[in-house]
Amino acid sequence: MENTTPSLFDKLSNWLKNSVMVKLLSMGILILLLMIPSNMVESLIRERQNTHEDAVNEISDKWGNAQTISGPIINVPYNTVFTNDEGKRISEVRYAHFLPDELNISGDFDPEIRHRSIYEAVVYKSNIAIEGSFSYPDFSEWNISENDILWKEATITLGISDLRGVKQRLTLNLNGQTIEFNPGLDNHDIQPSGVSVRLPLAESTKQDSGKMSFSMSLKLNGSKEMYFLPFGKETRVSLKSKWKDPSFDGAFLPDSHHVSNKGFDAQWKVFHLNRNYSQKFRGVPAGISESAFGLKFLIPVDNYQKTYRSAKYAILLITLSFTLFFFIEVLNRKRIHPFQYILVGVALCLFYTLLLSLSEYMSFNKAYVLSSLAIIAMIGLYTKTIFSSTKLTLLFTLSLVILYTFIFSIIQMQDYALLLGSIGLFIVLALVMYLSRKINWYGSEK
């Protein structure tokens, strides 16, 4: 009589096929393996973003980079003698810097979008008017001999971070006298690049100790950003443009501003008490760069940032989809092969490459909808052949729709992402606990 007792191998094979714990372990291993392509997708997003930034920088390099205006400043050289580490007496020329009492700046910007291949960059033309006044430089606090002060070599400098953006000859009206700026600076204590003029009438100004009033206009090209340094004892800045998506940035926000579909205008007023350096100093003071303020010309949507944020939820999407697969398999006795899990997981990863590629040609929202619909339709049709049940297929497809909608909501509601995500995960965990209450975790399904 033939022996019908199952062999040890048959028992082991049957246990591997039906054990709930083995299914969970296999699912966990598959999820970990699918993290490899999801991480590759994140690397692809960063690569495309870097390519975009390279294209933007190329446009900016040819047009003019982000600009920072600093000054004007009076710079007076003086001789000083000190003893070095070797005990030798060294004579050196150093500079004292004097900031204006009043500094008024008004600017009108004309931004536009330039393209390099499929990428966009914001550049601008600006008309800037600068006016104000200086007091005569006073060395009395520093105990420097009058004979050591090189009055005739004093200069007035204006810092411009990218001189390639200058689009006119620059002149300074000082006490009614017009002087033309020359490129370059005698010292770089404060400004890395800019223009300068010799300071005239030093002796006569010294005699009457009068104010030195100045004014000038500046046509300047730049890109993305524009900043100013509050060098006046009282600095007033007024800016306006037709650009409707500004971002006010830096150490000081506007005292008043108005933004509409027609553009924006903004006004700042900064006092010398609001910053961490005085009206006159020698050498290189601390805290100057940290006091800059201004604005950024934003392109409304950063598709790469949103795509990268959505890719961060890949593990959540894959885990929840596999969990749903698991419950359908266990509760409805539908046997699903690990390879079918993998195909569904790869399709879920493919969503992010679709989203990335489409978002470079259209808005992120449209790209997300099209990509998610394509993936949901593909997975839905595939699961129809797995489940052989219209009801289960519709249940799984509807669940994917809910998951993609949930993730889209988290991405859009950045300020409430943590709250919304926590509530969503709480609901999912509650459903998992409810559905798993009757599963035989220690034995095979019967």
Q: What is the DSSP string of 245-265?
A: -EEEEES---SEEEEETTEEE
CA dist list (Å): 257 to 66, 238, 253, 268, 270:
22, 9, 9, 9, 15
Both 116 and 19 in one domain: the answer is no
Exposure on the CB side of residue 249, measured as CA atoms within 13 A: 12
Examine the domain organization and report whether 316 and 410 are in the same domain.
yes
Q: Please check whether residues 256 and 362 belong to one and the same domain.
A: no
> Do 317 and 390 belong to one domain?
yes
DSSP state letters, 285-343: -SSSGGG-EEEEE--S--HHHHHHHHHTTHHHHHHHHHHHHHHHHHHTT----HHHHHH
Is residue 58 one of the residues assigned to a domain? no
Q: Are residues 291 and 310 in the same domain?
A: no
121 occurs within a structural domain: yes
CA–CA gap between residue 352 and residue 372 (Å, rounded): 9
**Residue 2 domain flag:** no
Q: Are residues 97 and 233 in the same domain?
A: yes
CB-based contact 129:172 (threshold 8 Å): no
Domains identified in the chain, total number: 2
pLDDT at 301: 54
Give the residue from 325, 318, 383 showing the smallest Cα distance to 346: 318
Q: Do 143 and 253 fall into the same domain?
A: yes
CA distance 208 to 211: 9
- Same domain for 77 and 147, yes or no, is yes
Instruction: Identify whether 441 is part of a domain.
Output: no
Same domain? For 291 and 309 the reply is no
Q: Which of 199, 79, 190 is nearest to 139 (CA)?
A: 79
As a whole number of angstroms, the distance between CA 111 and CA 225 comes to: 11
The SS3 of residue 49 is helix
Do 153 and 285 belong to one domain?
yes
Please state the φ and ψ torsions of residue 208, each to the nearest 5 degrees. Answer: -95, -5
Written as six digits, the tokens of 376 are 């949901």
Q: Could you tell me which residues are beta bridge partners of residue 130?
A: 105, 216
Residue ending a domain, choose from 261, 282, 300: 300
- 435 phi, psi to nearest 5 deg: -70, -25
Q: Which CA distances in Å does 361 have to 40, 53, 59, 351, 366?
A: 22, 16, 19, 16, 10
Ramachandran quadrant class, 232 (left: phi over 0; alpha: psi -120 to 50; beta: rest): beta
Q: Is 273 in the same domain as 349?
A: no
Assess if residue 375 is contained within a domain. yes
Of 274, 300, 326, the residue at which a domain comes to its end is 300
- How far, in Å, CA of 187 to CA of 30, rounded? 63
Final residue in a domain of this structure, among 300, 316, 332? 300
Residue 269 to residue 252: CA distance in whole angstroms: 9
Find the domain containing 149 and state its range: 65-300
Residue 60 lies in a domain: no
From CA 174, how far away is CA 216, in angstroms rounded?
9
Each residue's pLDDT expressed in tens, for the chain with a length of 446 residues: 455 566 555 555 554 555 556 666 777 777 777 777 777 777 777 887 777 777 777 877 778 788 899 989 999 888 887 776 676 777 888 888 999 999 999 999 998 888 777 777 888 899 999 999 988 888 888 888 888 888 888 889 999 988 888 888 899 998 888 888 988 888 888 888 899 888 765 544 454 556 888 999 999 998 888 999 999 999 999 999 998 888 888 889 999 999 888 889 999 999 988 888 888 888 888 888 889 999 988 776 567 778 887 887 788 788 888 777 777 777 666 677 777 778 888 888 888 888 888 887 888 888 888 988 998 898 888 888 877 778 888 888 888 888 888 888 877 776 666 677 677 777 777 877 776 666 666 554 44
Statement to judge: residues 116 and 235 lie in one domain: yes
**CATH code for the domain of 177:** 2.60.40
Judge whether 266 lies within some domain.
yes
Record the pTM.
Answer: 0.70
Query: Does residue 56 lie in a domain region?
Result: no
